[in-house]
Amino acid sequence: MPSPKLGRSVPPHERHPVAWYQPSVLWTAANQVLSSLDQLRNRDGREAQPQPLVVIDRSQPELEGDFKGEYWFDFIADTGDGGNASYAVASAALAPELALDGETLQTLPRGQLLLFGGDLAYPAASTEDYRYRFVEMFEAVRNDFADTLVRGRRLTLAAVPQNHDWMDSASTFSRYFVRGYDSAPLLGADIPQRQSYFCVKLPGGWWALALDFALTRDIDRDQYEQFEALALGGHGKPAAIGADDKVILIYPEPYWTRPIGDGADESHPKRYQRLEGLLRGRIRLRLAGDLHHYMRWDSQDLTRDGRLVTCGCGGAFTHPTHTRATTRPVRLQAFDTEDCIPPEPRTETPALKVGLTGRRARGVHFERQEATVYPTAETSRGRAWRNLFAFLPRLQGGNGNVGFALLLGALYWFNAYLNSSPFSWSFRADGFQPLWAYGPGDYLAVLALWLKAMVFSPLGFLINGLMAFGCMTMGREAVDELSPDDGRTLRWAVTWGMGAVHAAVHVLAVFSLEFFMHQAVSLWAGLGSRDQWLGLILHSLLVGAGVFAGGAMLGSALFGGYLALMCRLGLLTNNAYSALDGQDHKGFLRFRITPDGRMQAFFIAIDRVPRRWRRAGSPGPVWRNDDPAATVPRVHDQFTV
């Protein structure tokens, strides 16, 4: 991929959202994931981080002014995609005072602590992507070094990486948040953490613990032991987190809608589940990004079991909110650790698992609060059919996913070229036969010959195998939407059946395109056979061009139709809208700890982000809103812990 152009001359509306299906993006992401996974197998970078865990002490509330005795902080996740969305969120979060839209005018002060929930730059965590999509978007908002102070205190940053931050083994992430380079810290802030996970001590007996799963779907041993020491004490030191303290657990992904915990054997819980057991009764909020929407689940006993919140609206494309993964029941259950070998040392605090436990499972029930869902399920469902046009050039600029459509056209053409020998049977030496002159047996014979050539031609088998593998992968993702209560037959049918049907439709489309193009070219030439004045070479070129163009249009329409249908059925969450230019419905969480130790949370929603920005004078932000249709931030959800 070419290096992006940086600086003041590139406003947010020229920093187009990531085209996730562009071949170069797919190749870069796949290559970096495989490379990072290979390194993690041999050496987990988290185990090389310094110990002990740095506890970021921000337990002193504001001592004077209008907010005396209070403490304000923010949570932002999944930013660093399109410039419009990322800069709009950064502008709202870093404003000295945030004036909100609503029935009554409300103003919230800026937070003194900013927590990043990960996936800070897309598509892969490179130095260029970080600067282009994340760093410059946030730095351009302040552009005035006095903004490093928030009501007399220096801004504090802490962050936990998600999967995209780990695509370069969290190297770029670590340069900004872990290694302590103080020559030019991000936003001029204080960044005390020295691990890829963090712990913040807040006023009122509150703690924020952020876990790093890397690409392994669990915390490492050193990380677990650091948090265990905070909860239980050890080596002659008392527990830092008291029995009456309250904990916010920040996850890199919402495991209550993701199947990351289901692979844990009953006699061998994962480390993060053991940590949940140690902190049971103190966890008031489980918070995560990764899915790019906002929704909240409440338990029946909020003082014991707390809430679940997904908030990944920092700038990335929007994920649907109506699919099975986001609407199915959520339960909290305890492992029976008596069967563990060796036995668990503290059976009085068994490991907890929250998530995909099924409708009939026992345990604590979490109820999704429908009024909090953002965007609404109706809005989400209505976007599904936009996938039919997802591979056309974007209206907001940029080529979008056109490269994927061209790749499909090339695959269709190459497939037809490798397996074109059966079609010579279709054009007889005694002259051109129109399409209607063939009987059903003729079509079946041609299809049988073509399928035979497709399977037994080595290159044809390879090309079709790659197409089928891609379709099966999409089908495999769909099964994650199903509940554990769904039967094995249904799960198998969704996993392999949907993918097989999707692949078969593409195979049939290739056959049909070549067959009809042979007919159309011969009919256009008015010839009885291909070897007259038009010539075999020219005939082949015209057929090939037609198959390529038809494959680009028909193939991308079929692929978009698959995405639309599967999402409409509620069977696709992660990739349902990844091809769409979903810039709107963004936001972040702002928290307030009151003098009496209660915590209030405000989800700040931006329904429509600006589409154009203009240069502004100094001092102040580099760019200002130049789109009158953009909406003012508002409070979409508010709750008290």
Q: Which sign, positive or negative, has the C-alpha torsion 484, 485, 487, 493?
A: negative
Instruction: Give the residue with greater pLDDT, 350 vs 192.
Output: 192
Domain boundaries, the chain: 12-382+585-640, 402-568
C-beta contacts of 459-462 below 8 A and 24+ residues apart: 459/418, 460/415, 460/418, 460/419
Rounded to the nearest 10 degrees, how much is the dihedral formed by the CA atoms of 15, 16, 19, 25?
-10
Say whether pLDDT at 344 is over 50: yes
Distance from C-alpha of 617 to C-alpha of 613, rounded to nearest angstrom:
13
Report yes or no: 284 and 307 within 8 Å, Cβ to Cβ.
yes
Question: What rounded mean pLDDT belongs to the chain?
Answer: 82
Give the pLDDT score at 568. Answer: 87
Instruction: Give the residue with greater pLDDT, 192 vs 264.
Output: 192
**Order of strands across the sheet that contains 156-159:** 156-159, 113-116, 71-76, 586-593, 599-606, 634-640
In 10 A of CB 26, how many CB atoms? Answer: 17
Exposure class string for 508-540: b at 16+ Cβ within 10 A, else e:
ebbbebbbebbbebbeebebebbeeebeeeebe
Say whether pLDDT at 435 is over 80: no
Question: Which of 103-117, 384-398, 450-464 comes out lowest in average pLDDT?
Answer: 450-464
H helices present in 166-215, as ranges: 171-177
Give the pLDDT score at 168. Answer: 86
Say whether pLDDT at 322 is over 80: yes
Give the pLDDT score at 378. Answer: 92
Kindly provide the residue ranges of all beta strands, DSSP E only, lying in 503-619, ordered along the sequence: 586-593, 599-606, 613-615
pLDDT, tens only, 274-321 = 898 889 889 999 999 999 999 999 998 888 889 999 999 999 999 999
Q: Which of 146-150, 261-265, 427-431 has the highest average model confidence (pLDDT)?
A: 146-150
Q: Which residue type, as a one-letter code, is found at position 262?
A: D
pLDDT, tens only, 103-148 = 556 889 999 999 999 899 998 878 888 999 999 999 999 866 556 7
At residue 486, the 3 state secondary structure works out as coil
Say whether pLDDT at 425 is over 50: no
Topology (CATH level 3) of domain 12-382+585-640: Purple Acid Phosphatase; chain A, domain 2 (3.60.21)
Distance from C-alpha of 97 to C-alpha of 361, rounded to nearest angstrom:
46
